[in-house]
Structure 1
């Protein structure tokens, strides 16, 4: 085969990195207008994969998106990334993208199976940022300046987080929520609100999992 020959890929095949991070603006090529794309971005949906991971019901709840528009958006997204099943081998290859972030403690890393895993949710607790900086002889101010912080409004902040991670792809390596349960216990107290609290918590965990992927 000559070096300058072009090999055409099979229809629907996508490189793993491309399929995960295709910008939502690509929908314009499939008849989706800019205004509707902006509406999706306003709720933190910034990639084609993000559309596929969001239910029709959730998309219909986005202000300004009718059921007809949502169906058209879903159809356009599926043209860009063909949905379907993976073989166990293909999934194992996908898992090779996962990396681990060390906690600074070898024993703790062992407990976590190598450290804090990417594309997943790891639960822990403790206020130790300055201590960690001391452990690695790093300037406190430099460490603190490299961390973004926000209080409360957890559900609303997730939309901002999703957009921020997409805009500055590769910059952010770790998202820490302290604590994911505290505000839910305050806002939904007593047995009468237990079901709603668990539903909201499940929604938040699901949103976090999608962002991590």
Structure 2
């Protein structure tokens, strides 16, 4: 047996002793073909890193009892992998045109047989092994990185919010270049997807920042997939498109600048607030699943709004709060406030994080992107 088929290449990445692991190492393809999916061995080698759920991001090929037309419908609705179908509710799948309750139930049963390890509990030790695949992407500032424990993490959603001219978009541009760097340089050695809702993305800024990090400007721009979101519905459609792209395993960063802009325009007034929050919640849940499934870092920028009661209620508050309410607050794993400091300095403050204490760091905006004040 060739070395690539012995399982040696996967020892560093695959450590969970699950049924799915044994199937991978022994290449028991018959298991996938029986009552479930037919997958290609080449895709196993291409997607050798397992997802946090214990599943692998195999692209859908054949479902027993389901025709090719229905597979096409699944992909058209953003379900390009086994794990993405597994994470979808029956209610969501029933919204696909032509899908009956019987057909959806067949799909779910096939998923359960194909991914038994993803359907129940795992030990904390197994989760610890899975989280070793988390990548931290630098902000471009060592001080900023220090309060984040090294940078913004993959497999989670991070949010930065603040008023205008605090550096939200400049941070997005900087990380779009840094993410392409090798891991030892604070990058993730991957491509970047950039959803722009405000029309503030500038390729020339990417070129300037790339020069600072010694990256070829043309190469840096080529590795960024850019899309201008026209409205909140289009914003969700772009996620469906990215699901197909992310299945290739080349992307490590998704930026949305900014998350609430389209939702605020499409849903105006208190009368539409409930509908807006429901649609926003669906969008954020989709984001969270993609971050975990494809080991991608999701960075969202967010706007702020005036809250006259904030100063009286919270000592030291400046009367502003992030847009999006509790729905957005709960969806963000790490939440960082950006504000103006003294002179040209800006301040980043951890507002919420499961593993980082509440701390502050200063940074500046330069021609080369986000940097430390002493580097100017």
TM-score range, shorter chain: 0.7 to 0.9
> 1:133 Cα shift?
1.9
1:3-152 correspondence runs (5 A): 13-15=19-21, 17=50, 19-27=55-63, 30-82=64-116, 83-124=119-160, 125-127=168-170, 128-129=173-174, 130=205, 131-152=208-229
Q: Residues 115 and 26 from structure 1, CA distance in 2 versus in 1: closer, same or farther, beyond 3 angstroms? A: farther
Work out the CA distance in 2 between the residues paired with 1:80 and 1:19. Answer: 9
Write the deviation string for residues 104-146 of structure 1: whole angstroms up to 9, x where unpaired: 2111212222212111112232234525324313343332222
Structure with the larger strand share:
2
Q: Deviations over 1:139-170 (max 9, x none)?
A: 4333222211111120111110101111xx22
CA distance in 2, matches of 1:111, 1:135: 23
Residue equivalent to 1:7:
none
8 Å contact 2:62–2:71 — kept in the other structure? Answer: no
Structure 1 counterpart of 2:369: none
Distance apart, 1:174 and its partner CA: 0.8
Mean CA deviation greater in 140-149 or 172-181: 140-149
Kindly indicate whether the alpha-carbon contact (under 8 Å) linking 2:20 and 2:55 is maintained by their aligned counterparts in 1.
Answer: yes
Measured against aligned partners, the alpha-carbon deviations of 1:154-202 in whole angstroms (never above 9, x if no partner) come to 0111110101111xx2221111111111111111111111111111111
In 2, Cα distance between equivalents of 1:61 and 1:108: 43
- What residue number does 1:212 align with? 291
Contact 1:45 1:51 in 2 (8 A): yes
Deviates more, 1:117-126 or 1:185-194: 117-126
Matched, 1:177 2:177: no
Q: Determine helix, strand or coil for the equivalent of 2:256.
A: coil
SS at match of 2:280: helix
Aligned pairs, how many? Answer: 198
Q: Is the 8 A contact 2:139 2:145 kept in 1?
A: yes
Instruction: Give TM-score, length-normalised by structure 2.
Output: 0.50
Kindly report the root-mean-square deviation, in angstroms, between the aligned alpha carbons of the 2 structures: 1.8
Shift of 1:67: 0.9
Write the deviation string for residues 32-78 of structure 1: whole angstroms up to 9, x where unpaired: 22111111111111111111100000000011111110000010111
For structure 1, the residue ranges without an aligned partner over 5 or more in a row are 1-11
Extract unaligned runs of 5+ from structure 2: 1-17, 22-48, 161-167, 175-204, 293-376
Tell me how far 1:91 sits from its aligned partner: 1.5
Offset at residue 14 of structure 1 (A): 1.1
- Alpha-carbon separation, structure 2, partners of 1:193 and 1:113: 39
Structure with a larger share of its residues in helix: 1
68-77 vs 103-112, which deviates more? 103-112
Larger radius of gyration, structure 1 or 2? 2
Task: For 2:147 and 2:272, locate their aligned partners in 1 and report how far apart those are by CA, in whole Å.
Answer: 35
For 1:148 and 1:22, the matched residues in 2 are separated by 22
Query: After TM superposition, what 4+ stretches of structure 1 lie above 6 angstroms from structure 2?
Result: none
Query: Which of 157, 163, 167 is the matching residue for 2:244?
Result: 163
Contact 2:62 2:68 in 1 (8 A): no
Instruction: State the TM-score, normalizing by the size of structure 1.
Output: 0.86
